[in-house]
Amino acid sequence: MCELMGMSANVPTDICFSFSGLMQRGGRTGPHCDGWGVAFYEGGGLRCFHDPQPCHSSAIAQLIESYPIKSENVICHIRQANVGRVSLANTHPFSRELWGQYWTFAHNGQMHAFIPQAGPFQPVGSTDSEAIFCDLLNRLRAEFEQRPPLEQLMDYITRACALYARQGVCNLLISNGEWLFTLCTSKLAWITRRAPFGPAQLSDVELSVDFKEHTTPNDVVTVIATAPLTRNESWHTYAPGEWRLWQGGETLLQGIVIQCDGEAARLIPGG
């Protein structure tokens, strides 16, 4: 399957260090060689890069690795194709406009013969992942004429995710530029870096950084990844069904999606 990486920070931050490790898994230290993409939010704007070539040898990836694009919310994906051929149209993250905001989505897992709910959002490519994204947006647009309060929105999104989780593996990242929503049904980890900052060493390439040289005492940066990217830091592992909503590097809301027998699903809110 694919690998995910996301970042939530309270100040505009680049992902050069973490991306340097992730890109190695795109065909060198890992089998995820069927394309990659990354989305950076900058205010109300969205800067996206996609390439159907292996990430570890992509000239575009080398630009991202070396050019410090700063953002508070980032979604990144390296692909190992299961559903849909290798093509630019099938490369995550996917993006659409909803309620005057750019929404982006990346998925790790596999859904079998998933058909999105009818509506104005339709897949361009042939992946089950894009079908899930379009289904969620169609459900949201049908349910709410305008953007609802955050807790009401998250309640609806997590209930939809409970239905997706019943149909296959569904690890995913979603953002509208204000927050980063994460769901784990099989494998996801996170680390929050804050003062006092220290050194970090990547697991997939010989590269280290001392974050205290690049941060202020008030910075808070959380990185989410399918598997830990560093070997000298303590990462936290998501529980199966766990979701977290990140904003400014902190967990704003969290809970557990519970799969139930029958058609219904229920949500147990977190702390």
DSSP at 249: T
The whole-number pLDDT of residue 116 equals: 80
**Cβ-proximal residues to 248 (8 Å cutoff; 6+ apart), any chain:** 8, 9, 10, 72, 220
pLDDT of residue 223: 98
Torsion from C-alpha of 257, 114, 84, 56, nearest 10 degrees: 0
Band of residue 32 on the pLDDT scale cut at 50, 70, 90: confident
In order of 26, 51, 70, the CA distances from 35 in angstroms are 8, 6, 23
Express each pLDDT in 167-193 by its tens digit: 889 999 999 999 999 999 999 999 999
pLDDT in tens, 226-244: 999 999 999 999 999 999 9
Residue 208 vs residue 32, higher pLDDT: 208
Give the C-alpha separation, 33 to 54, whole Å.
4
Catalytic residue from among 2, 33, 134, 161: 2
| Mean pLDDT of the region 26-53 | 93
Helices 128-143 & 150-165 angle (0-180, nearest 10): 140
Q: Is 2 a catalytic residue?
A: yes
Between CA 88 and CA 171 the distance in angstroms is 21
pLDDT confidence tier of residue 2, bands split at 50, 70 and 90: confident
What the chain holds in terms of domains, given with CATH numbers, is 3-269 (3.60.20.10)
Percent above pLDDT 70 for the chain? 94
- In this prediction, residue 147 has a pLDDT band, given cuts at 50, 70 and 90, of very high
